Structure 1
Amino acid sequence: MTDLSDFSGHEITGSGDILDLSSHQKNLLLVRPLLRLDFNKLSHTRDDGSYLLEGIDTNYLCLAALYYMMEGTALHQGFTRREVIDHLKGLAGTMQEGLDELSRQRIAEIVLDTLSNASNKYVEHKESYFHAPSGQMHTIKFRLIRFEADHEDVYRYAPTREGYLVLMGMLDLEVEDYQVLIEKMLLHLIERGRFQQALELAGRARALSIEHRQQIRDFIIQNARAPGSVTWRKDINPRLSEARGHVEERQSVDHAMKESLTKKIRDSDSFDAKGALSGLHKLLEAANFQRMKLQVEISSAGDKFLEGQAAGFRPRRSSGLPDLEIKTLPEVMSKPVQLMAGIAESLLVSFYPAVAPKVQDLSNLFDVLLERRTRSEVQEEEDDDGEISEFPEVPPPFAPELIAKVHSWLDSKMLIGTPLYLDQVLKDAEEAGLSFMERKAVGYELYRAFADSESRYPHLHAQVAGEYESPVVSGDNLRFDPAAPNEEVSREDQ
């Protein structure tokens, strides 16, 4: 079995000790042409020296151009240059209503030239990045758009694969939805035999598991800090129940994928395929380990919430120091001003705590301060006041008449000076015709006599003498010997 503790402290890759982030770097470099235009906006000026792109969001215009070209591929094979320019001119005019026709035309052309790399003779964009497995700098070449002729020899713009990746890679999905999407893609890649791509995607799945666990952990911690301002049934329990169900579904999918991978590893003859499959199996184990820890945190959230609520009702511990408001401050205020001015500095220092209180983490403090609080809707008060269960009254196990009869019979037996055994007394009670409940009362009274302070017979001392088992009682067998003079307990003391 794989030791899951190996996955808790570091990233797991198939590339040795150094972490391979090549796919992340490539995706990040795809937006560098857009960022470069935004960074160099002030380099574009009008004839009068004013800045052409001041107040213009070039990032939006670039993404809007890619999206417009994508829509064009659904109708034709893309849009012509004039159609793209007109669309961008309209967007630029929306951003700044006072723009003239020439300015809007130039802005549209600058955006289109940036996407097509016109400043570098329309060749591919070229960016460098550090390739961790080889330890060297590599170069990535890509195009964001293409300008090709359709079947009617009309040249049209359309996004390339990298252009689609810029658009689709920035979708703002919830982490739970993203996990489901990644799992479906993993299953598809594994079934198609594209194990290397599945290995890269499994790294994202593990990162998503960590992100989801962090979100739920922050939610639990935030509510545990202020248990009086939230309601468990309405505010906390639904979110945790939803998270618990989501984690259970992901674990079942992980289990199915790991079984499929194990079978493919056994059946595969390719060494490279086995290596990729083994790395993929380890990453799935690591993602599942994060979900297991999240399950533990969700299960213990209720106890933490109850501890926080109980702390709010915990009384303050009494202190031997004088009360500050009742005794100390009134006496200080009654002193002359000159005297107080002389001791003010040392007095103020004495008010400081001996140990400085812990300061809240700044990131959490800013989250609390910047949190947008929605106005709570006034809801009708619920009539559910809870239920109060009455404690059932447990009747005494033995009736007073039965106890009196047992004491009368047992007193005569316990006056015998010779050692007595519990099993022998119960046997004598059965021979004397005592009922089952009467014999049970006899056993109860003899076990009670094991403690000298509770014994009805102070002249006897009980000690354990083996074990005894019968339908009436079961436990240690007791032996009663005459008590020593210093051990005898008088009736008055009892």
Structure 2
Amino acid sequence: MPDDGLIRRVKALACTAPLQALEDNKGSLGRVDARPYHMVELALHTIDQVAMAMDFDKGAEHAKVIEQVTHFAAVQVPEQQGHEHRVVAEWVLHKLINIGTLDRGFTWTYGRVDGEGTYSRYAFDFKLLVEHSTSDGHVYLRVTDEAINVLVGALDTDVESAQVAAEHKLEYLINRGRLEDAKLAAEQARYRTVQYGEYLRQYLDATRRDVRAVDWEQQVPTLLEDALKHIEARYRHESAILTNITEHRDGARDARKKRQAAGLVDIVRECIHRHMQLQARLQGAGALFRKEQDRQQFSGPPQRAAVDVFNQLLVPLLGLSVGAAVAPVSDFFRFGVAPVPPAVTSMGSLVGRLLTVRSESSVYAGAVPVPEVQRDGEAVRFSEEDQHIAGKLIDLAVEETRSLSALLSEARVHGPSVERLVLHDAVHAFSPALSEAMLRGDSTVLIATPAVGELDVPSLGGDELLISRVGLKAPEGEWDDDVSRDEEFDE
């Protein structure tokens, strides 16, 4: 009978094969004596540094990763010189990227028994580190799902169930005081958070390339809804865990326990920060789909991919002699250059061109008309007084709630411009940019929630909104030790 569990374990071992190959082939590094280094540890440390530096838009920079791995290599073999540590770090990074191959991937052959008892062989293609270019021209490193699974010791694990299990395990270990094991569980939960964000990034990247390749009718909306529920539950759970860890840190008398608890606090806070980044991306996913749909609808038919001259022509020809390389090069340029249509296609067109009287061309093209430019009146803008009045009306106290109809009624007394400004702020408050407000260090944010009923405004229609101003927690690293934990996490 088919054994899916066996295949999962084989694939899990396949992902560790490139790391074991580093240990087996470290003697081939002729410039440096690499035998004292533990290459598997250096490879795991490299993958760890790239995973922790990733976000939705960018990844890890090559130079910074090499610098961090160089420090770790210097700790392993302190008797070696500094440039030797750097050579080893670069070699490990290049091997994990698999530089030197055409697709920069690894392949592992495994077998599978089908329902009829027939044993067949298949190829499992995977990558550990990949390079991604951004719109500004920079190239960053990102880890793949296989690399994350190497770190946590599993393959093809459901992200949601793994995250919940890791958090329950973390809470249990903290309650039992096993902080060393709790630190490992917290790091695994953090890797799962990175993997969940990577899944969403792949959907968005596929949408940017072709909106038809992603199911935005059922699959992606279900994913977005599940992800928002995931963030809500994880944020509540991790906040409770963070409170528990802080109690252990403050109540511990052993200095070692305090340091371990402080490290756990940093890891859980980073998980909360990553969840907030994921929430911001989820809220903008629908707008990105509509934008890409409009852009790709008018972009025309897809173009054929360009020929890779370096890998498809130059590299194969370097191994040939001059006589053998002439024919492929001639064929390439003959088929690569577009054909030029003849100027004369028939005898009638040839006779007509020969009998055409040549006209004397003038040196000057003629008088250049001077366009008449008219100044348009300046666009109507909101005055500073209107903005001041509107800001004063919308500047509610913390936990104060007003209906949008009441605010617009007060603003209408001061004129239509003030009413328009208040309506503008209220609409933006319906989907506030929480992550940007926290990065700026704002202590409060204006939010709007739907209410029962419709707007009581003659010139406008729609549902009623409740406008309120709520407080935000302080950014990371800026908590006051004298403030109670209940106030730190009060929203």
Structure number with bigger Rg: 1
Q: TM-score interval w.r.t. the shorter chain? A: 0.3 to 0.5
Give TM-score scaled by structure 2 length: 0.32
- Higher relative contact order (CA closer than 8 Å, sequence separation 6+): 1
